[in-house]
């Protein structure tokens, strides 16, 4: 039946044909099996057993479905982050899946970092604030600094917008902006809202004009989450315990239906990475956690939507 070389090995023609057929079956079935049960369980093990039986290197087979394994990990991350809670168990499962599927670090790394960042922001929302020593700034006795970040305040002067470079310093006592030649500070009782805007700004709304407005930073999401948490702590608001987040928790069957309906892509631009579940009508406005009120948006489209609300 002839001699062929496959994966650097010399094999008979019949064995090579059987191996090629096993590879085709693997490529055809892998995506469907990953969708149903992931890279664990009897179905997946049966696929791998067929490859071994026909002496097809598993590494070679996994390289043939790199797009499918990347899509599977993207979906896993989106599902894990849907209810704003990323657990250590979910992070460990992601690492296990990436290892089993031999996904390269350049693909798995950014996805893992998204989960780790989400978990870090979640920890801050729960009241676990970092502490740091601010550069060239003397704090009051007993005052704790939680953030020291370069920023530029957007100031409107005669119909044009100018940027005032400086720093945002957030402590348990007050919010400070330290510019090169000017600055101000606000007690937490004077700030009533803060949010990230357009992926570039922290929007501070205060009871006085001085200090209210937009601050351009390299990480507005992190800054706004931290500042909002400090505000809530100073208002003595009770942070919701993990076990009581059922209004935001998205049931698995709902996530699956929304993902299938939207084709695993952003409904606005068609992107297939950095995806998030989004409430069409926000929870804060009475929106439900339902198939009809959920959609898939990429991070950029979700930020643009937030700016319009």
What's the whole-number mean pLDDT along residues 176-195? Answer: 93
CB 169 within 8 A of CB 183: no
pLDDT band, very low/low/confident/very high, at 181 (cuts 50, 70, 90): confident
Mean pLDDT of 176-200: 92
Which of 62-71, 103-112, 193-202 is predicted with the least confidence, judged by mean pLDDT? 193-202
Mean pLDDT of the region 72-94: 93
Judge whether 131 lies within some domain. no
**Residues 99 and 7 reside in one and the same domain:** yes
pLDDT of residue 88: 92
More confident residue, 261 or 242: 261
| Percent of the chain clearing pLDDT 90 (strictly above) | 65
- The model carries a pTM of 0.81
Lowest mean per-residue pLDDT among 28-32, 226-230, 283-287, 288-292: 283-287
Residue given tokens 């957030």 in the structure block: 170
Q: For the purposes of burial, counting CB atoms within 10 Å of the CB of 99, is it exposed (0-12), middle (13-18) or buried (19 or more)?
A: exposed
Average pLDDT, the chain: 88
**Distance of alpha carbon 305 from alpha carbon 255, whole angstroms:** 20
Residue 134 belongs to some domain of the structure: no
- Mean pLDDT, residues 112-129 taken together: 93
Better pLDDT: 22 or 184? 184
Number of domains the chain is built from: 3
Band of residue 93 on the pLDDT scale cut at 50, 70, 90? very high
CATH number at residue 282: 1.10.30.50
Enter the tokens of residue 119. Answer: 């978990």
- Does residue 118 lie in a domain region? no
Residue 171 and residue 230 share a domain? yes
Asked if 229 and 263 sit in the same domain, the reply is no
The mean per-residue pLDDT over the stretch 175-199 comes to 92
Q: Which residue has the tokens 């729960």?
A: 126
Asked, for residue 140, whether it belongs to a domain, the answer is no
Is residue 184 scored above 70 in pLDDT?
yes
Q: How many other β-carbons are positioned within 10 Å of the β-carbon of residue 103?
A: 20
Find the domain containing 262 and state its range: 250-308
Choosing from 107, 133, 162, the residue where a domain stops is 107
**pLDDT at residue 1, as a whole number:** 44
pLDDT given for residue 247 in this prediction: 54
C-beta of residue 107 within 8 angstroms of C-beta of residue 70: yes
- The pLDDT score that the predictor gives to residue 192 is 92
For 11-15, what is the mean pLDDT?
A: 56
Q: What integer pLDDT is reported at residue 174 of this predicted model?
A: 94
The answer on 254 and 230 residing in a single domain is no
Indicate which CATH number applies to the domain containing 208.
2.30.29.30
Q: Domain for residue 28, yes or no?
A: yes
**pLDDT for 116 beyond 60:** yes
HEC string for the chain = CCEEEECCEEEEHHHHHHHHHHHHHHHHHHHHHHHHHCCCHHHHHHHHHHHHHCCCCHHHHHHHCHHHHHHHHHHHHHHHHCCCCCCHHHHHHHHHHHHHCCCCHHHHHHHHHHHHHHHHHHHHHCCCCCCECCCCCCCCCCCCEEEEEEEEEEEEECCEEEEEEEEEEEECCEEEEEECCCEEEEEHHHEEEEEEECCCEEEEEECCCCCCEEEECCCHHHHHHHHHHHHHHHCCCCCCCHHHCCCCCCCHHHHHHHHHHCCCCCCCCCCCCCEEEEECCCHHHCCCCCCCCEEEEEHHHHHHHHHHC
The set of residues, in sequence order, having a beta carbon less than 8 Å from that of 158 and lying 6+ positions away, is none
In tens, the pLDDT along 124-154 reads 998 889 998 888 888 888 899 999 999 999 9
Q: Is the dihedral of CA 225, 231, 234, 235 positive or negative?
A: negative
Residue 205 in contact with residue 194, Cβ under 8 Å? yes
Note whether residue 267 is domain-resident.
yes
Q: What is the pLDDT of residues 26-67, one digit of tens each?
A: 999 999 999 999 999 999 999 999 999 988 899 999 999 999
Residue 119 resides in a domain: no
Shared-domain flag, residues 15 and 95 = yes
Chain-centroid distance, C-alpha 5: 44
Asked whether the predicted pLDDT for residue 193 surpasses 80, the reply is yes
C-alpha span between 207 and 292 (Å, rounded): 38
Residue 238, pLDDT score: 46
- Residue 290: pLDDT band (50, 70, 90) is confident
Among 4-13, 46-55, 87-96, where is mean pLDDT lowest? Answer: 4-13
Give which of 123, 160, 130, 151 is closest to 239, Cα–Cα: 123
């Amino acid at each position: 039946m002839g001699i062929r070389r496959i994966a650097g090995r010399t094999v008979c023609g019949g064995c090579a044909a059987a191996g090629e057929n096993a590879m085709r079956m693997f490529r055809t079935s892998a995506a469907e099996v990953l969708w149903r049960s992931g890279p664990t369980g009897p179905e997946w093990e049966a696929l791998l057993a067929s490859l071994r039986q026909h002496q097809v290197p598993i590494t070679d087979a996994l390289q043939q479905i790199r797009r499918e394994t990347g899509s599977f990990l993207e979906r896993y991350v989106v599902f894990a982050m849907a209810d704003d809670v990323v657990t250590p168990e979910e992070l460990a499962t992601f690492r296990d899946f990436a290892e089993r599927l031999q996904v390269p670090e350049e693909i798995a790394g950014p996805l893992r970092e998204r989960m780790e960042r989400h978990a870090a922001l979640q920890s801050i929302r729960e009241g676990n604030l970092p502490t740091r020593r601010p550069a060239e700034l003397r704090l009051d006795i007993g005052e704790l600094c939680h953030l020291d970040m370069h920023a530029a305040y957007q100031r409107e002067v005669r119909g044009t917008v100018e940027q005032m470079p400086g720093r945002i310093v957030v402590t348990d006592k007050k919010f400070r902006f330290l510019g090169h030649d000017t600055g101000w500070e606000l007690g937490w009782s004077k700030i009533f809202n803060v949010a990230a805007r357009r992926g570039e700004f922290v929007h501070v709304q205060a009871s006085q004009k001085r200090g209210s407005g937009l601050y351009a930073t390299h990480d507005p999401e992190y800054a706004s989450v931290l500042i909002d948490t400090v505000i809530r702590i100073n208002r003595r608001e009770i942070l919701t315990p993990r076990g009581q987040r059922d209004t935001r928790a998205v049931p698995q069957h709902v996530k699956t239906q929304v993902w299938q309906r939207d084709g695993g892509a952003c409904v606005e631009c068609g992107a297939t990475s950095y995806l998030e579940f989004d409430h069409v009508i926000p929870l804060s406005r009475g929106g439900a956690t339902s198939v009809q009120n959920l959609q898939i948006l990429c991070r950029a489209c979700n930020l643009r939507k937030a700016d319009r609300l």
